[in-house]
Amino acid sequence: MAEEAGIPTLCMTSALDITESVKAPRAVFVNFPLGHQTGKPNQPEIQRRIVREAMAAFETISKPGEIVRLPYVWDPNDRSWEEIDYTKGWMPVPPSREEADREEVERRARFAGK
């Protein structure tokens, strides 16, 4: 929709098959578990490299639907995440409704009146 409106887009992805299937105009693939499309927590260096390479891909991608694959590996010694990502039992058990509501009250209270 943005592309039709004249705005070039670029989509990060760690789900290569989905991005190919929906035909994203431009994409940059990182083979990390879902929830880490722009890197690992508190590792600004790897995050910076991924985002910087994504910005470069805005210029280098010339064919519609092209996907640039970045070479980063989540953990060279352990690929077990690839077996369990997005399979049954992989999501942590969500908090109970009461617990979630309490968390939400606390979250909003943190910023109230500031």
Partner 1 sequence: MAVEYIARTRELYSDYIPYRWVVNETVPFTPLRKPIRDCKVALMSSGGIMYRDQRRFHREDASCRRIPKNARRDELSVWHFGYPTTDAKADPNCVFPLERMRELESEGVIGELSDPAFSFMGGIYSARKVCDELAPQIVDELKKAHVDAFYLVPA
Cα separation, 98 vs 102, in Å, equals: 6
Give min distance, CB of 47 to partner 1, in A: 5
Give min distance, CB of 106 to partner 1, in A: 10
CA distances from 10 to 19, 36, 65 (A): 11, 17, 10
Closest alpha carbon to 27 in 39, 37, 41: 37
- Burial (CB count <10 Å: 0-12, 13-18, 19+), residue 28: buried
Question: Nearer Cβ to partner 1, position 41 or 71?
Answer: 41
Give min distance, CB of 45 to partner 1, in A: 10
Question: Nearer Cβ to partner 1, position 78 or 112?
Answer: 112
Give min distance, CB of 77 to partner 1, in A: 16
Strand partners, 28: 12, 68
The residue type of 61 is I
Interface positions with partner 1 (CB under 8 A):
1-13, 15-18, 21-26, 29, 31, 34-42, 44, 47-48, 50-52, 54-56, 58-59, 62, 64-65, 82, 85-88, 90-92, 94, 104, 107-108, 110-112
